[in-house]
Amino acid sequence: MHTLVDKHADAVVHANLAAGLSTPKVSAKDVNVYYGEKRALMDVSVDIPDRGVMSFIGPSGCGKSTFLRCINRMNDTIPICRVTGKITIDNQDIYDPKLDVVQLRARVGMVFQKPNPFPKSIYENVAYGPRIHGLSHSKADLDEIVQSSLEKAGLWKEVKDRLNESGTGMSGGQQQRLCIARAIAVNPEVILMDEPCSALDPIATARIEELIDELRKNFCIIIVTHSMQQAARVSQRTAFFHLGTLVEEGPTTEIFTNPKDKRTQDYITGRFG
Amino acid sequence: MSGYYFVTMAVLVLIAFLVSRAQAGRLIKGGVGQLHSLPNYHGLFAASAVFVPMLLIYVVGVPLLEKFAQAQALSFFGAETASDALHRGATLRDIHNLVAGQYSGTPSDSLVEAARSMKSTLWWGNALIFGGGVLAALVAIGLSLGRVSVAFRARNHFERLVVLVLMLCAAVAVLTTIGIVFSVLYETIRFFFDPSLKGRPTVTEFLFGTEWNPQAAMRADQGDIKTAYGFIPLLTGTLLITLIAILVAGPLGLFSAVYLSEYATARFRAWAKPILEILAGIPTVVLGFFAALTVAPLIRGWGAYFGLDVASESALAAGLVMGMMIIPFISSLSDDVINAVPQSLRDGAYAMGATKSETIKQVVLPAALPGIVSAFMLAISRAIGETMIVVMAAGLAANLTFNPLEAVTTITVQIKTILVGDQEFDSAKTLAAFALGFVLFFVTLVFNIIALTIVRRYREEYD
């Protein structure tokens, strides 16, 4: 864990330097989300840099997961849900009617709160994305994608001899890493993680956090978490949500050591939430 | 007598409950904490202590008394009356009529004596049972009142009794099944191996014979008995109709389930699903005449249009309508299992960029497969066992054919045909029904075992 914290301190410095310079990967402007009549998210605007980890924190029901699900348009699957405002990835509006949601989701992977491997073999779980998006042309291609994805997810050594066993037979932590491998198999640009460790024990959580730290070299990662320690450990930037609004956003160290808003301070010092 | 006995029993059970509960209630001083079991359990314990012995006394006592009274009454007649079943039954009937005052004509002296004896035996016997029951109940009340104490584990005792009752219920279901199987098996063995049975086939002739004509066996001088009981045409007929039914119901049922659970709006689903389930409630006899009077002529007409010769009772008509009958089984059960697939799996697939149809094909249906297979197997079992539709629409001719346009017959139809009307249970023809029933049971069992194996093999754990 110590090395993780050290690495993390370096990373923050880098991120702070980089944040102002590079153009944002994901950019949201005045995003509102309605569930029927209820307004769940109010005028959220935020810029998320590439090759780094951004964490969303806040009390339950504050809208952080709702916002996360806007970025790959998962909210489309909820009939009563309506999104207004503008979200862009690389300056491309993802709510553009001409854009196909299938292609969007190939670029924006997602990992869920509870590990949800498909009831298929470990191999098939990872091969699923490349297959439906036609990324491989031969069995050898596919084998390579599966292997490299599992390697990147730190799972290859554990499962290489049982690729044909069911993905649902593994431990919770392994299942979650399998879901991460599944997500990165289609080589996305952004990876969304919705409380990826909340169903895991501390050891499995530490492994996932190491993995996230590893993955940020190549991906833009956005993570929703309930654990402020986790946000502090893995992310370079943090956004605090409260009652459907984005209260404060900035470098993680800033948010945790020197929050500007009273509500942020109350939350991180444990006064509510 | 029975009425009084049970009313008394109910009253005593209630008294035992109330008294014991009150007694236990008095032990509570300050809090329930000191008492091991709640007062209600003391009451229930006392109530069951009254109920069980009283019921036992009745259940054992009444048949014993009846036997005893009969023996007493019959002793007024000669020994030959008691030994001859027919004579014995007639005499007992006379005695009972006389006791009830419904005897017409002048009874003989011994009959009058016998009736008087029976009457008094029954009176005394009933009094004994009643008295014994009440005595047992009072003793039980006394004893259980004596046992009411802070430490007495009334709850554990009562719960053990509950477990016993549950076990008995399970045992009744299991034993009934075993009993049915063995009674069918017994008659089947008689059919094949009873030497006194004329015209019985061997097992091989039955299982592999290709001609079914049990009428021929009625008269030994007519027809070849050896080929009268060939079971193959019935099996092929059954399987042909079942196959047609599954070909109709499988896709229709499964696809409608997919539509209802994945695509339909909540409002459409809310009224479409109940209507589909009404289909399961249509009596099969109604579907049967629908098949015979509407579908069969229709198919015959279309067949004639295309220059095909269709029998007026065809396997196709029966199979189509039977398919309609089993659609609700497949669609309703599949719909339930598809809905049981966790949303997180669908979300996972959508988040990978899978389209709705890809998600259904590659994730939802495989996850729901065990349930879907068991829905199909249940539907097949229903189709194989279905009688009324095939009786009306498929006909009686035992043709060995796979042509769906010809008339065929099924196992169930033949069982029904054999057993309708007057029967003699020493003829091979009647007993053939049991052999058919046994084979039918066996075929269904095989399907169920296949289904269970598939379900177990492909069961996925997702939670």
- pLDDT tens by residue, A77-117: 888 999 999 999 998 999 988 888 888 999 999 999 999 99
**Alpha-carbon distance B449 to A30, whole Å?**
60
Query: Which has the higher per-residue pLDDT, A251 or B378?
Result: A251
| B348, B354, B366 member nearest A116 (Cβ) | B348
Contacts of A129 in chain B (CB under 8 A): 352-353
Confidence at B211, pLDDT banded by 50, 70, 90: confident
**Alpha-carbon distance A254 to A237, whole Å?**
9
Q: With 80 as the cut, is the pLDDT of residue A273 above it? A: no
CA distances from B26 to A110, B33, B230, B420 (A): 65, 13, 77, 66
Lowest mean pLDDT among A127-141, B115-129, B201-215: B201-215
Residue closest to B459 by CA, chosen among A115, A179, A169: A169
Q: What is the dihedral of CA A9, A12, A13, A15, to 10 degrees?
A: 160
**Alpha-carbon distance A233 to A223, whole Å?**
12
Confidence at B55, pLDDT banded by 50, 70, 90: very high
Q: With 90 as the cut, is the pLDDT of residue B24 above it? A: no
User: Which residues, in sequence order, are bridge partners of residue A111?
Assistant: A193
Predicted pLDDT of residue B455: 74
Pairing of strands A220-224, A237-242: unpaired
Determine the longest span between alpha carbons in chain B, in angstroms: 98
Query: Which has the higher per-residue pLDDT, B418 or A249?
Result: A249
**Alpha-carbon distance B391 to B152, whole Å?**
64
Asked if residues A106 and A123 have their Cβ atoms less than 8 Å apart, the reply is no
Cα dihedral across residues A104, A108, A109, A112: positive or negative = negative
Q: A60, exposed or middle or buried, with CB in 10 Å at 0-12, 13-18, 19+?
A: exposed
Inter-residue long-range contacts of B268-274, CB under 8 Å, 24+ positions, other chains counted: B273/B332, B273/B335
Predicted pLDDT of residue B220: 54
DSSP helix/strand/coil, A251: strand
A40 touches chain B (CB under 8 A): no
Q: With 70 as the cut, is the pLDDT of residue B32 above it? A: no
Q: Which residue has the tokens 């991120």?
A: A15
For residue A261, give the amino acid letter.
D
CA B231 to mean position of chain CA atoms: 25
Pairing of strands A220-224, A245-251: unpaired
CA distances from B12 to A91, A165, B47, B56, B133 (A): 86, 64, 8, 15, 10
Predicted pLDDT of residue A13: 47
Confidence at A53, pLDDT banded by 50, 70, 90: very high
Q: What is the pLDDT of residues B60-94, one digit of tens each?
A: 999 999 888 888 888 888 777 777 778 888 888 88
**Does the distance separating the beta carbons of A116 and B461 come in below 8 Å?**
no
Q: Residues of chain B whose C-beta is under 8 A from some C-beta in A?
A: 342, 344-355, 358, 362-363, 366-367, 460-462
**Does the distance separating the beta carbons of B460 and A166 come in below 8 Å?**
yes
**Alpha-carbon distance B13 to B8, whole Å?**
8
Predicted pLDDT of residue B207: 84
Q: What is the pLDDT of residues B279-318, one digit of tens each?
A: 888 898 899 888 888 988 888 888 888 888 887 788 888 9
Q: What is the pLDDT of residues B216-262, one digit of tens each?
A: 655 555 555 566 788 888 889 999 999 999 999 999 999 999 999 99
| B344, B347, B358 member nearest A132 (Cβ) | B358
Instruction: Assign domain B225-458 one CATH number from 3.20.20.105, 1.10.3720.10, 1.20.1260.10, 2.60.40.420.
Output: 1.10.3720.10
Q: How many CB pairs under 8 A join A and B?
A: 73
> Kind and range of the H or E element at B91?
helix B85-100
Predicted pLDDT of residue B214: 75
Q: With 50 as the cut, is the pLDDT of residue B463 above it? A: no
**Alpha-carbon distance B236 to B229, whole Å?**
14
Asked if residues A228 and A268 have their Cβ atoms less than 8 Å apart, the reply is yes
Predicted pLDDT of residue B139: 94
Confidence at B6, pLDDT banded by 50, 70, 90: very high
Predicted pLDDT of residue B249: 93
Residue among B346, B350, B352, B363 with most chain A CBs within 10 A, to mutate: B352
Predicted pLDDT of residue B81: 75
**Alpha-carbon distance B358 to A181, whole Å?**
20
Contacts of B372 in chain A (CB under 8 A): none
How big is chain B by its Cα radius of gyration, in Å?
32
How big is chain A by its Cα radius of gyration, in Å?
18
Q: With 50 as the cut, is the pLDDT of residue B418 above it? A: yes
**Alpha-carbon distance A104 to A110, whole Å?**
12
Q: What is the 3-state secondary structure (H, E, C) of B238-277?
A: HHHHHHHHHHHHHHHHHHHHHHHHHHCCHHHHHHHHHHHH
Q: What is the pLDDT of residues B122-177, one digit of tens each?
A: 899 999 999 999 999 999 999 988 888 888 888 899 999 999 999 999 999 999 99
Q: What is the pLDDT of residues B430-439, one digit of tens each?
A: 888 888 999 9
Please report, for chain B, the start and end positions of each structural domain, with discontinuous segments joined by +: 2-152, 225-458
Question: Which domains occur in chain A, in start order?
Answer: 2-268 (3.40.50.300)
| A105, A112, A168 member nearest B462 (Cβ) | A168
**Does the distance separating the beta carbons of A132 and B353 come in below 8 Å?**
yes
Query: Which has the higher per-residue pLDDT, B76 or A143?
Result: A143
Pairing of strands A92-93, A26-35: unpaired
Q: What is the 3-state secondary structure (H, E, C) of B385-425?
A: HCCHHHHHHCCCCCCCCCCCCCCCCCHHHHHHHHHCCCCCC
Q: What percent of chain A has pLDDT over 70?
A: 91
Is the complex ipTM more than 0.95? no
| A112, A129, A132 member nearest B347 (Cβ) | A112
Q: What is the pLDDT of residues A154-164, one digit of tens each?
A: 889 999 899 99
Q: What is the pLDDT of residues A61-77, one digit of tens each?
A: 888 999 999 999 998 88
Determine the longest span between alpha carbons in chain A, in angstroms: 57
Phi and psi angles of residue A174, each rounded to the nearest 5 degrees, phi first: -65, -40
Looking at the complex, report in whole angstroms how far the Cα of residue A257 sits from the nearest Cα belonging to chain B: 35
Contacts of B459 in chain A (CB under 8 A): none
